[in-house]
Amino acid sequence: MKYLILFTFIISTLLFSCQSGKYQKEISALDSLHNLLNIAEQQLASTDTAKVRTIKAEMQKNMDFITENYKDTFSMDMAMMLSDYAFPKKKVYRNFIGNYSKFLKDIEYTRSQLSNLKQDLENKSIPEDKVLTYFTTEQNAVLTICNTIDQNVNTIQTYFLRFDTLHPKVLHIVDSIKTAQNMRP
């Protein structure tokens, strides 16, 4: 959403600015779209994929241990906490890691499309009646990529915080089970 607002501001500024030359506004807007892709790429790169993998593995290990070794019935609070700790996050982490390379490929492909369109506009090699269609297609592609990456990165960051909050509690449960197992005759 923040990309849409930023881009709308940029486009509004460009449309009302006085620039000479055919397609200058569109070329400037393509440069802005290119910058938005760079921001999305930096946002994606700032997410620690090793941490995602580590958290996923740690969660799985702890949940497997608890499931196999906790012989009592979970209290409602404990069940909800464990569910919040593991259930939705496994899928989120797996999807993020699985889509990471796709995000990078989408960025590169769209970056190439923007460059090609810019070159075609500079060379005036696109029929005038197709310029708006091509521009809109690339604009939509950039906004979709940026919003998808923003949403995924924000979701992962939220789950990092949840993990940091709940992980000590889960480790306490694991330690309690291990202590109880060591006390058995």
CB 134 within 8 A of CB 117: yes
Structure tokens at 148: 């998808």
**Mean pLDDT rounded to a whole number for the chain:** 87
Positions of E strands within the chain: none
pLDDT above 80 for 5? no
Q: Tell me the longest C-alpha to C-alpha distance in the chain.
A: 88
pLDDT band at 118 (very low <50, low <70, confident <90, very high): very high
Three-class secondary structure of residue 98 per DSSP: helix
Number of neighbours of residue 86 by Cβ within 10 angstroms: 20
How confident is the model over 107-133, as a mean pLDDT? 95
CB 36 within 8 A of CB 142: yes
pLDDT band at 13 (very low <50, low <70, confident <90, very high): low
pLDDT band at 181 (very low <50, low <70, confident <90, very high): confident
Number of residues in the chain: 185
Three-class secondary structure of residue 22 per DSSP: coil
Q: How far apart are the first and last CA of the chain?
A: 60
CB 141 within 8 A of CB 117: no
How confident is the model over 86-94, as a mean pLDDT? 75
Report the C-alpha gap between 141 and 120 in whole angstroms.
Answer: 18
Report the C-alpha gap between 73 and 79 in whole angstroms.
Answer: 9
